[in-house]
């Protein structure tokens, strides 16, 4: 049955051009039903009660004058917003729909239910202003789910009309200069999807945190989608790499995290409300809402919808628990990240400053101002106000969620390679580490300026200083013959830097992902039966609850982390260093104490290559290899290059390559390249022989300096002697570059020195190095310094 009238329009008859008649939500639903159905995109059917019906409703009940009279009181006293809003909403309670609209509404409802009078529908508000096509009223009006029967439908429509005058809607129009009586309301009536028996959520065709355009972001929770939309539940999060979706042999999921999903919204029977919130079961909390097939299907739909509309889109989806089918229930333009300017390409300059309070190592080149919030434990995250400056003794992986909320970070302890420094760089936050007395001199609530824009030293000043920020046009960053790549480790921050014109990732640290995301010692998974501690077994069970196969937890989690870093740089090379924990660092992982030896000097002990072929770790290395295979062969990032750290001898190199082959990573197969870190003097002395076994070299300047000068790089007492620019170190670097080039191989440097001192980068250019890998915050400065040297 086709319903055609000025008051009711079927979704299938509406187009995007009908926003003035039925609002953005309803016009978009009609657009998808009519234009995208042939692509297999399912949208629940329904109809819209037009804006014209709203005006007829107001006239029939003589509401317009009474609403205007109530709003006049707001002009006199804006503090009575709540009273004015309530008074207007109360006017709608004693109203009736004009008989013609009522009959047409019921006819459309019966047609939707194929003659039934009790079909369950969602009733959603869709505000519109015919003369204000660019106005956005999203999220201000009410929606009602699981509405059944004609009486309930009429009441829901009446409540939608009243919600045009919620306090937040009135305030929005007041603040944005819209005339209240220029805005009408259309109501969408849409068949319910039985997601109460499955799951639902939201989806974006762009990464909402960074604006990265090649990702689809999906959030999912059990039950109806209201819990995700309203933000009352911690949902699953999935991310898919869009360019690989066309290849059906690939599974380009680059993030898959299981949310707590403590509650779900379901149908309610016999209660005053048609929906109810219930606690989820432990099994639901530890299970993914969507399998890989559904994730990829939604991602493909997101790409099709984005292509049709020609812009990034914000969508809501639902899965029917009875039929197993997926549906798109709403789609609107994404309006935040898609409009943002390039971030991360800025230069800061301090113009005024107060008294110097503390100083330490500078991380990043930014400036932040705000109030101090001193914390001793990450468990206090709920107390930490977003945008405050975190002051603490030191950080570890448990601090990362809290660090994301901070404007800047200051620690008493740590150096440039500490956890706080690494995470801050990748989050793009200014940080000052190793202050020694910050927690003593800085007090919660104190206003300060954190300056990391004055060189290698970072300074904390009292008060709110003035500073300027100059944007850097990525198009004007100079081209260089020497490749400039990035050092990255944190998948959560990797996409932040996608706008930088880098030549790839010169160092992706696997151990950071193991430590911060996986958290479990690999042998505690491969040898689970040997784990003695009941506490450790419970920790492992909690972390791996989503996986029946506990080893697969390690493989999938690591693979998705690596893939997310690779996605930020594809198709440029991503050099992934296999795990380079020292034994004392491995011991700090969950279950690690049992499987690690006590070493007097772990820095030059059982680390890197020596672990991979050892009977005491080889099954842990096998998990690392499985993750790399998944990244390259299943997900599809064949730009990933494997790099072996701390490879001391040629015999050791042969053993590692053989071990990799046993685990399906054969050098040369499917284009796999294998690099070696150059950080032990033997790598320099026997560079020609190592070049026969590896495709490339990457100089680790920290360890090479340590072992060339015989200085423990963690020794504070000897810190003044530690220098990558010492003559002996420079001679070693120049020597190995020449030898590697004569052997026809590539060589770069991934140490910290070029990031901290552009002059060191110029030395490398003089030595004819192929690439330099730096921290993202120092990329622009290093690139400019290298360009200047190349011009000479």
**Residues carrying an active site annotation:** 419, 750
Exposed/middle/buried for residue 173 (C-beta within 10 Å: 0-12, 13-18, 19+): buried
CB 625 within 8 A of CB 664: yes
Contacts of 417 (CB under 8 A, 6+ apart): 702, 752
User: What count of other Cβ atoms lies within 10 Å of the Cβ of residue 663?
Assistant: 18
3-state secondary structure of 374: strand
Picking from 102, 252, 123, 243, the residue whose alpha carbon sits closest to that of residue 186 is 123
Distances (CA, A) of 30 to 38, 275, 760: 14, 26, 60
Exposed/middle/buried for residue 230 (C-beta within 10 Å: 0-12, 13-18, 19+): exposed
CB 237 within 8 A of CB 217: yes
d(CA 191, CA 197): 15
CB 219 within 8 A of CB 199: no
**Cα end-to-end distance, the chain, whole Å:** 78
Dihedral angle over CA of 682, 684, 689, 695, nearest 10: 120
d(CA 350, CA 367): 8
Complete DSSP assignment for 487-507: EE--HHHHGGGTTS--S-EEE
d(CA 551, CA 525): 6
3-state secondary structure of 6: coil
Question: In which element (H, E) is residue 624 found?
Answer: helix 618-629
d(CA 164, CA 127): 8
3-state secondary structure of 142: coil
d(CA 24, CA 338): 18
Torsional sign, CA 519, 521, 522, 524: negative
Decide the pairing of beta strands 447-451 and 367-374. antiparallel
Contacts of 173 (CB under 8 A, 6+ apart): 179, 180, 183
How many helices (DSSP H) and strands (DSSP E) are in the chain? 29, 30
Picking from 322, 157, 314, the residue whose alpha carbon sits closest to that of residue 229 is 314
Picking from 115, 100, 83, the residue whose alpha carbon sits closest to that of residue 49 is 100
d(CA 184, CA 49): 11
d(CA 429, CA 450): 11
3-state secondary structure of 521: coil
d(CA 105, CA 117): 12
Exposed/middle/buried for residue 12 (C-beta within 10 Å: 0-12, 13-18, 19+): middle
Contacts of 720 (CB under 8 A, 6+ apart): none
d(CA 489, CA 684): 26
User: What count of other Cβ atoms lies within 10 Å of the Cβ of residue 174?
Assistant: 15
CB 695 within 8 A of CB 667: yes
DSSP state of 14: -
Dihedral angle over CA of 554, 696, 490, 782, nearest 10: 180
Torsional sign, CA 105, 109, 114, 117: negative
d(CA 583, CA 593): 9
């Amino acid at each position: 049955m086709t319903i055609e009238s000025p008051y009711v329009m079927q979704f299938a008859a509406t187009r995007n051009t009908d926003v003035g008649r039925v609002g953005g939500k309803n016009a978009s639903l009609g657009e998808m039903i009519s234009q995208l159905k042939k692509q297999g995109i399912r949208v629940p059917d329904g109809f819209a009660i037009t804006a014209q019906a709203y005006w007829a409703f107001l006239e029939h009940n003589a509401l317009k004058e009474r609403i205007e009279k109530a709003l006049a009181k707001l002009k006199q006293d804006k503090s009575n917003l709540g009273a004015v809003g309530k008074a207007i909403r109360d006017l709608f309670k004693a109203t009736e729909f004009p008989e013609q609209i009522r009959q047409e509404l019921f006819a459309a409802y019966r047609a939707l239910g194929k003659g039934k009078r009790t079909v369950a529908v969602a009733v959603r508000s869709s505000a519109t202003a015919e003369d204000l096509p660019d106005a956005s009223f999203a999220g201000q009006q009410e929606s009602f789910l699981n509405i059944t029967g004609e009486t309930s439908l009429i009441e829901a429509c009446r409540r939608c009309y009243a919600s045009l005058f919620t306090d937040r809607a009135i305030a929005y129009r007041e603040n944005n200069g819209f005339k209240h009586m220029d805005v009408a309301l259309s109501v969408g009536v849409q068949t319910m999807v039985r997601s109460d028996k499955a799951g639902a959520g939201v989806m974006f065709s762009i990464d909402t945190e960074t604006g990265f355009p090649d990702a689809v972001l999906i959030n999912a929770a059990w039950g109806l989608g209201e819990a995700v939309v309203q933000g009352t539940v911690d949902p699953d999060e999935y991310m898919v790499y869009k360019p690989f979706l066309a290849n059906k042999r690939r599974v380009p999921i680059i993030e898959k995290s299981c949310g707590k999903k403590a509650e779900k919204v379901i149908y309610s029977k016999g209660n005053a409300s048609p929906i109810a919130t219930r606690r989820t079961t432990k099994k639901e909390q530890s299970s993914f809402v969507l399998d890989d097939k559904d994730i990829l299907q939604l991602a493909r739909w997101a790409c099709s919808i984005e292509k049709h509309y020609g812009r990034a889109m914000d969508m809501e989806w639902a899965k029917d628990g009875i039929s197993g089918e997926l549906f798109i229930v709403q789609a609107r333009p994404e309006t935040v990240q898609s409009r943002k300017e390039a971030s991360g390409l800025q230069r800061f300059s301090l113009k005024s400053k107060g008294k110097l309070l503390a100083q330490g190592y500078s991380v990043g080149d930014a400036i932040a101002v705000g109030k101090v919030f001193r914390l001793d434990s990450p468990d206090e995250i709920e107390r930490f106000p977003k945008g405050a400056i975190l002051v603490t003794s030191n950080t570890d992986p448990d601090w990362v969620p809290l660090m994301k909320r901070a404007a800047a970070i200051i620690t008493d302890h740590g150096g440039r390679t500490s956890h706080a420094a690494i995470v801050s760089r990748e989050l793009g936050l200014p940080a000052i580490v190793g202050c020694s007395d910050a927690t003593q001199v800085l007090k919660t609530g104190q206003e300060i300026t954190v300056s990391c824009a004055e060189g290698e030293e970072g300074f904390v000043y009292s008060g709110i200083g003035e500073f300027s920020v100059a944007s850097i046009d990525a198009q004007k960053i100079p081209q260089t013959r020497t490749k400039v790549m990035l050092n990255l480790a944190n998948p959560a921050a990797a996409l932040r830097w996608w706008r930088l014109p880098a030549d790839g990732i010169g160092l992706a640290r696997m151990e950071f992902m193991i430590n911060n995301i996986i958290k479990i010692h690999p042998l505690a998974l491969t040898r689970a039966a040997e784990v003695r501690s009941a506490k450790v077994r419970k920790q492992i069970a909690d972390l791996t609850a989503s996986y029946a196969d506990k080893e697969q937890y390690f493989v999938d989690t690591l693979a998705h982390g690596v893939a997310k870093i690779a996605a930020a740089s594809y198709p440029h090379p991503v050099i992934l260093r296999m795990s380079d924990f020292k034994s004392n660092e491995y011991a700090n992982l969950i279950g690690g104490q049992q499987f690690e030896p006590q070493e007097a000097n772990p820095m030059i002990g059982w680390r890197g290559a020596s672990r991979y072929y050892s009977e005491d770790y080889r099954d842990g290395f096998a998990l690392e290899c499985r993750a790399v295979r998944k990244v390259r062969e299943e997900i599809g990032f064949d730009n990933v290059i494997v790099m072996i750290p701390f490879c001391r001898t040629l015999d050791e190199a042969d053993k590692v390559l053989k071990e990799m082959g046993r685990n399906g990573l054969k050098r040369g197969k499917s284009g796999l390249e294998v690099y070696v870190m150059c950080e032990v003097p033997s790598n320099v002395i026997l560079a020609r022989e190592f070049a026969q076994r590896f495709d490339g070299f990457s100089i680790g300047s920290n360890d090479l300096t340590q072992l060339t000068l015989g200085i423990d790089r963690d020794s504070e007492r000897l810190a003044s002697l530690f220098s990558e620019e010492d003559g002996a170190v420079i001679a070693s670097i120049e020597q190995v570059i020449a030898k590697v080039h004569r052997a026809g191989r590539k060589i770069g440097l991934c140490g910290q020195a070029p990031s901290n001192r552009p002059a060191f980068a110029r030395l490398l250019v003089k030595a004819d190095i192929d690439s330099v890998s730096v921290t993202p915050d120092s990329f622009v400065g290093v690139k400019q310094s290298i360009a200047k040297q190349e011009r000479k």
